[in-house]
Each structure stands twice: as structure tokens, then as C-alpha cells.
Amino acid sequence: MTVASAPGKVYLFGEHAVVYGEPAVPCAIERRATVRATKRDDERIRVQANDLSINGFSVEYTEGATEESAEFDVPHPLVEAAVGYVDGAIEQVRDVLDASVGFTVTIESDIPLGAGLGSSAAVVVAAIDAATREVGIELSPEEIADRAYQVEYDVQDGQASRADTFCSAMGGAVRVEGDDCQQIGDTPRLPFVIGYDGGAGDTGELVAGVRSVRETYGFADETVSSIGDLVRTGEAALLDGDLQELGRLMNFNHGLLSALGVSSRSLDSMVWATREAGAMGAKLTGAGGGGCIVALDPSPASGTALQYTPGCESTFRAELAHEGVRVEQP
């Protein structure tokens, strides 16, 4: 058995626009998905999820045929997507080996499923690393990121970007623009506060919605371009350690995402609660539609405000994860 873990992420800036080649700056956070991979004597794949913000499920299958036993407290399509991500990860391992091989895969995660914190990317990255190491192959984080992106691209019907998987594999703050992915060094301490509404947006549906709006209205295309310009300004503020400017730009970014139709009442309520509590800035993170917001606030005020905000199910602090994918002790 080989064990690997990979971090989740928040978007400082740039979600949705990154799909159209604009830059984005995601940051890895110390919320991790841990995957245990054990090579089997047959070619079957067994997936056991002990905690993906659901009661747990197990699936055993071959050649895409699945048999499930589960209790779900998230929408069933999210479970199907989770299996699809693991299936894709194993296919990447088979591609590396140029041979069919079976695995028993156990997933544990403290990243809410479908909440905009990069749960799928973390699972895929950790699964590829654990399974390849289990068969005696060690891939570089860059190759793991590339292979994980191919999995997300396929599962999300060609609407994924490299941002989530690169950030999870590499750790820290990163900049992604198309196929150009770079780590950002010397970033300041970022006092992230996360609010979670207990929901989950459908990434594919939300991305498709933005695509439709962008194709229908010219000003929506300009909104996407404006997010790209905002990211470039924000990257400079990040390198300068100007947290006040980062906060102002986060507020602006949330407004642009709301204009594209990917926010929700619960997300807006949490964003405004943290701003009114004194946060330097706050925005939704990820695809939207439900899930999480991220605020910049070194004080406890934002967390306290979120605890009393209708629609907020939980809140927590999240430190920047400087280390990406890594091997863990069994």
C-alpha cells in the first residue's frame, strides 16, 4: 500500500476567466485529500470513499461498469464525478505502465466535495501519485499535474483549466494562463477565512452557463477580459505583499463573477458578512452556485460573523499549503 496526499485550493482571483485563457491565481491550502492505493492481482478497480462530505460509498468495477453501495448526502452526480476522477487517474497510471493493472483505492478528505476548494483535483493528483508509486514509478509533480489535468478535462467535457491540478500538485500560490503554469515565490502570509454553505455547485453546468452568456452578450465577454486584467493587477499586489489591495481586488472580482451569474444568495450573504465584519476583501471561490467563499482577515471577526450568518454551515481558517502532493506514512 502506498499513501499520498494533495492539498485543496482557493482562488485568490481568476476562476471562470481562466477557462478562456485569462490568468488566474489559485493558492493551495492545508486541507488535503489522502489516497491509499494497493495493487490488485486482477484488473478491477475498487474505490472506497470514507469521507468526501458524504456518508461514504464503495464502488468496484472494470471497463467502466460500476456496482455501487452507498448512502449519499450530496447530489448523486457528484458521486459519479468522484468515481470518474479516480477512474481517470487509474487510466493515467495504466498509460504510464502501458499495461492494465487493478487497484484498491481508499480516499479520505477534509475538503468538501464540489464546494470550490479543489476536491476533485486533490483526489486525482494524490491518486496518480499513490498508484504510480505503488507500482514502482515516481513521477515529477509537473507530470502529475499534467496528467491530472487530462483527467479533469475529460470528466468536465473539455471545460477544465490547468489551475486546480497544477496548484494541488505544486503547492503555494501559482499563476496559470493557458498552458503556462508557474509557481509564485515569496508570497506574504495570507490570512484566509473560509465560509461554507454546505452546498455544491455543478462545475460543468456553471462553466457552460458562463460560456452561453459570453457567447450571447458582448459585454459578458468584456467582463471575462476584465477579470483577466484584474488578475494581472492582483499578481503585482501579491508580490508587493499589499494585502489591502488584494482585498479590494477580491471584492471587485466577486462583483464580476456575480455579473456572470455564478454567485448565489448564500455566497453573497457570506461575502457581505465578512466585509461588514472588517475583512480586507471577500469573494466566492471556485465554480460558484454554492459552496465556499474566501475572505482575507487576520482577526477572528470574519469567522465569528460567519457563524451567525444564515446559510453558512461552517467556517474555518486555512493556511497556505507550501507543499503540494506528497507521500504519507501508511
CB count within 10 Å of CB 306 equals: 28
Q: In the chain, which residues fall in CATH 3.30.230.10?
A: 2-185
Name the phi and psi angles at 219, rounded to 5.
-70, -25
Beta bridge partners, 34, equal 5, 108
157 as an active site residue: the answer is no
Residues above pLDDT 70, as percent of the chain: 89
Identify which of 210, 192, 218, 215 has the alpha carbon closest to the alpha carbon of residue 17: 210
What's the grid cell of residue 253?
Answer: 472580482
Q: In the chain, which residues fall in CATH 3.30.70.890?
A: 192-318
In this structure, which topology does domain 2-185 adopt according to CATH?
Ribosomal Protein S5; domain 2 (3.30.230)
Q: Does the domain made of 192-318 have the CATH classification 3.30.300.160?
A: no
Q: How far apart, in whole angstroms, are the C-alpha atoms of residue 260 and residue 243?
A: 26
Name the phi and psi angles at 14, rounded to 5.
105, 0
pLDDT of 154 > 50? The answer is yes
Grade residue 50 by pLDDT with cuts at 50, 70 and 90. Answer: low
Is residue 260 classed as helix, strand or coil in its secondary structure? coil
Least confidently predicted of 97-101, 191-195, 303-307: 97-101
What's the grid cell of residue 68?
Answer: 455501487
Q: What is the pLDDT of residue 51?
A: 57
Q: What is the pLDDT of residue 313?
A: 92
pLDDT of 330 > 60? The answer is yes
Q: Is residue 251 within 8 Å of residue 281, measured between CB atoms?
A: yes
Set 164, 179, 202, 221: catalytic member: 164
Chain center to CA of 12: 12
**pLDDT of 64-104, one tens digit each?**
444 444 444 445 555 566 667 777 888 888 888 878 888 88
Q: What is the pLDDT of residue 58?
A: 47
**Interacting residues of 327 by C-beta distance below 8 A, sequence separation 6+:** 2, 3, 4, 129, 133
Residue 244 identity (one-letter amino acid): Q
CB half-sphere exposure, 301, CA atoms < 13 A: 14
Q: What is the 3-state secondary structure (H, E, C) of 285-325?
A: CCCCCCCEEEEECCCCHHHHHHHCCCCCCEEEEECECCCCC
Least confidently predicted of 86-90, 196-200, 253-257: 86-90
Q: How far apart, in whole angstroms, are the C-alpha atoms of residue 259 and residue 209?
A: 12
Least confidently predicted of 7-21, 44-58, 112-126, 130-144: 44-58
Q: What is the pLDDT of residue 77?
A: 55
